[in-house]
Chains A and B, each alone.
Chain A
Amino acid sequence: MKKVIVIGLDGFEPKIAEAMMARGELPNLQKLREQGGYSRLGTTYSAQTPVAWSTYSTGTNPGGHGIFDFLSRDPKTYLPVMALSRYEQKNAFVLPKVVNMRRGTPFWDLLSARDVPSTILRVPCAYPPDQVKGRMLSGVGVPDLRGGFGTPTFYSTRKDLRADQSEKVVAVSVENDRVAAQVIGPRDPKTKSDHKFDIHIQILRAENKIVITSQGQPDKLEVQLGKWSKWLKVKFKVGMMQSVAGIVRFNLRQIEPEFELYASPVNFGTEEPLFPISHPKEYAHELAMKIGRYYTAGMAEDHDGLNLNRFDEAAYLDQCRIVMRERRRMMEFELGRFERGYFYCLYDTPDRLAHMFWRFREPDHPSNRHHGYNPDYANAIEEHYRECDAVVGEAMKAVDDETLFIVLSDHGMNSFQRGLNLNTWLYENGFLALKPGVQPGESGDFFENVDWDNTKAFALGLGCIFLNLKGREANGILNEEQAEQTRQGIIKGLTGLVDAERGAAAVRSVSRREQVYSGPYVDEAPDLLVNFSEGYRVSWDTPLGGVPRGLFADNHKRWGGDHVIDPALVPGVLFMNRKFRAESPHLVDLAPTILNVFGVPKNAEMEGSDLLS
């Protein structure tokens, strides 16, 4: 074989897909199943996009590539830090650079060494991109221009609005149907202020639209009420003869009685991105010149905008369709010129859409009590899966007798109705201490008011527990023997933990890192991983180090589906156009399988085996 084509469908849930195939609603995937085979696919601890796709890339468990979660912690400060990449500047005379924290050897490096070209579109945890022979466009991990994973701006004439999470809220006033505003760009690290770009908004009430005039590109941009605009290229002047370009889309929410306009996070422009997002570095712009501008941020869909009620489900669905179409144009263009080697294109939208629409599958979902239940969206995920099936059908056109065609997802999706306040559980069971006089609920994010000198363990990220180890954490108190007692105590206490309000077990088991990880980066892993039951997850207050009141909380957010539960409950899907070993295939098996197609041996770190042999 001379070609391998891989279509990634992030978070594509097997239970939904299997039911749809049984009803004949996914004809292309069904055809692929009949040609070769289908199986559920084992995923990683934990079942998260960056962790799982890094395992796909390197063929190792997370201990071999060092990505365990979106977040990690700094042992010196106990503060959460971004785990996917970091920025470093060795001295004042060199420019800052971004360093990918995914380590290990991705299999495309081995292919490159053997002169096998690759075209890799939107792969997670490749920021900055790998120096592959061929082309690579980075995916999840690429931030917006402010350095976050989604920093939108909301312009409103309402004076009572407050910014929530990472968003910016800008108070504006309408005078003679004109609004003067600014797009908020990157922060100036010296002055701590924001760089801004002026826009002038003309309201055309009779036509239910606005026209944004600016020095950007295009200089006049129309935005219809309730619709997403086309891209506006903006430039922020960040120094003498220095500017940073970005692209932004708008969604006009309301003209009267209040004026409300949503601006997406400012994505890197493709012409001269602040940091490289493609290899070769010009490739991102070459692609834009062929298919038009596209979302460059790793998290393209603005789920925060929906979570924060800045727009509604219809607008989110609309945006998901835009993202899908952009990705499809990318894929079709590249497949059109793909002759040999490895091709990969990831569609993130199945995951992002299912997170936000899962609640409509469950009328009793707590989120529906707060945000309303709309039965029209009960099958939104199925409808999207049909679109994914059409994408697979399109990709199939590039498949010939010399092609191995693979469709897979990194994990599945499940319900998220109830959240466990892990730090509160640790507090109530004597593993975490608060400063004298402070009670749960009086301690904010980032472990505010935690008494480190008396704390044995703390939770951070999505179900990760770290021990406060002497010699490792800044104020570590546990020696090895005490650490083992603490591990045993937490495992015993959490396993089978019952949610009294529902009478159901919220936690299935707790894994020690040594049980599930091996390799050179195990030392960076959380000490314990909590494997939640269906319907449960770590609460919203836990990932950043909060200690709220009460053990369990209803999930009231629109983000009503999740997959960071026991990985055994959320496998992915695997389809191939060749018969393959259907017994327990796992993400680690993909790298050896693809390498073997090209006669390239796997390296010593890769744990899986060729699924075709």
Chain B
Amino acid sequence: MNLFVNLFSLMGPLRPPEYLGPETLMPLASILAAIAGFFLLFWRLIVKFAKTLYRKVRGLPDEVPPEVEDSAEEEQEK
């Protein structure tokens, strides 16, 4: 709520709840759209970065599929 009030306070003399018209809501919508756009663009990178950071901090190994022995010769020997 504070964020909204503060944002609106930057927009001019008419502050909520005094007036809610297109010219006051457009800047707010732009800001929200920019934030949403940022997350839509980079969400996967952010999640990946957060996961990597978490693993590094916790000292966990990377999420890599396990190595399996698949030499056909070894199989034949069995």
Contact = CB atoms under 8 A, between A and B. Distances in A.
B70 A325 contact: yes
Nearest to B44: A272
A241 B64 CA distance: 21
Contacts of B42: 241
- Contact residues on A (Cβ < 8 Å of other chain), bracket: 20 to 34
Interface in A12-60: none
A449 to B, nearest CB: 46
A305 to B, nearest CB: 15
B45 interface: yes
A227 B71 contact: yes
A325 B76 CA distance: 12
Interface residues of B, number: 15
B68 interface: yes
B65 interface: yes
Interface string B37-70: 0000010110000000000000000011111101
Contacts of B10: none
A241 B70 CA distance: 34
Interface string A267-278: 000101000000
A217 interface: yes
A318 B45 CA distance: 38
Contacts of B68: 291-292, 329
B35 interface: no
**Chain A: interface secondary structure?**
helix
Interface string A102-113: 000000000000
Contacts of A288: 65
A40 to B, nearest CB: 32
Contact of B72 (A291, A318, A329): A318
Contacts of B73: 227, 318
B72 A241 contact: no
B46 to A, nearest CB: 12
A115 B66 CA distance: 33
Nearest to A272: B44
A208 to B, nearest CB: 14
A326 interface: yes
A293 B65 contact: yes
A321 B72 CA distance: 6
B72 A322 contact: yes
Given A228-B71, A321-B76, A322-B70, 5 more contacts: A217-B64, A230-B67, A289-B65, A291-B66, A317-B72
Closest CB pairs A-B (n = 9): A292-B68, A288-B65, A321-B72, A318-B72, A293-B65, A322-B70, A292-B66, A292-B65, A289-B65
17 contacts: A217-B64, A227-B73, A228-B71, A230-B67, A241-B42, A241-B45, A270-B65, A285-B65, A289-B63, A291-B65, A291-B68, A292-B66, A321-B72, A321-B75, A322-B70, A322-B72, A329-B68
